[in-house]
Amino acid sequence: MAPGGGCLGVPIAERLERHGDVERHHAALAVPGALKVWVSVYRAGDVLVDSGMSRARREVARFLASRPVRACLTTHEHEDHVGNHALLGPEVETFAPPLATRFLAEGTPPFPAYRQVFWGYPREKGMGARPAQGTIRAGGRSFRVVPTPGHSADHVAYLDESTGALFSGDAYMGKFRAARLAEDVATEIDSLRRMAEIDPVVLYPAHGPIVERPRKRLMETADHFDGLRRRAHALKEKGWTAHRIARELLGREQTITWISAGEFSNVNMARNLLRAMPP
Ligand SMILES: [Zn+2]
């Protein structure tokens, strides 16, 4: 880990990790004592997957300068995934699902202040992207677009068909407890199962550790959320409130709930579970 300059003098921690022919650049806001949320971009050959947070623009620019890319695959519209698309020149072919395409073209709409502090606010607009669908030929490789909605409405993952590596963005984040109300648990579970069915050789998430042979882990995670969904509905039948269900199934609220002024919370996860009807 090496402290960098960051934008506006905010200290940024960064790490570089190599995994076979894939490089992973991690960056996080490095305020002493504060929660560190790492954000990754990946480079497979000369293809970039997501562009990270604008807070780490200088660090991502340096990473890109070390070996320029020819294409960028975008998983979804969140600011820690499209934050540095503005660094990509016109020679870089960019692919994105519809919401991210709109944000790149029209600018990212305003979002809560704490996220701007953590990740920065990418204010550029007027950037074009081609639709992420079917199979994409980029940088001499072939990527299958895998629809993985739930975390965001039109999230996609990318399967490198020559290596079996799946770049999953935020479609897999382990057995997390605090969630935003915008998440759709039912489609999230389906997406986890869809990724498991592909049986990737390796899973490259935007946050958290790389997972080798992730099939079992993806199935277990889908079963975990499915189990929570069933239990949440059973407790609701008994007349329990979302707050009580959250406490019972997910435990106490965590630091992120206070930092996010309640945007990320266990009770929102309970509400999401109750919205998601069991199959
Ligand atoms: Zn996200």
pLDDT tens for 209-229 read 999 999 999 999 999 999 999
Instruction: Please tell me the CATH superfamily of domain 2-275, with its number.
Output: Ribonuclease Z/Hydroxyacylglutathione hydrolase-like (3.60.15.10)
Ligand 1 center–CA 170 separation, angstroms:
5
CA of 22 to the centre of ligand 1 (A): 21
pLDDT tens, residue by residue, 224-244: 999 999 999 999 999 999 999
Spacing, Cα 75 to ligand 1 middle (Å)? 9
Residue ranges per domain, the chain? 2-275
Instruction: Name the band, by pLDDT with cuts 50, 70 and 90, for residue 5.
Output: very low
Ligand 1 geometric centre to CA of 191 (Å): 14
Report yes or no on whether pTM surpasses 0.85: yes
Distance 97 CA to ligand 1 centre (A): 13
* Ligand 1 centroid from CA 236, angstroms: 29
Nearest-Å Rg of the Cα atoms of the chain is 19
Instruction: Return the pLDDT at 241.
Output: 95
Helical packing angle, 185-198 and 215-237, nearest 10° = 160
With CA atoms as reference, report the closest residue to 170 among 275, 52, 29: 52
| pLDDT, mean of residues 4-21 | 77
Q: Tell me if 59 sits within 8 A of 12, measured CB to CB.
A: yes
Question: Taking the chain, what is the end-to-end CA distance rounded to the nearest angstrom?
Answer: 45
Give CA–CA dist 97/75, Å, rounded. Answer: 7
> What does the pLDDT read at residue 9?
62
- Tokens 């990724």 correspond to 195
Q: Kindly give the distance from the C-alpha atom of residue 73 to the centroid of ligand 1, in angstroms, as a whole number.
A: 15
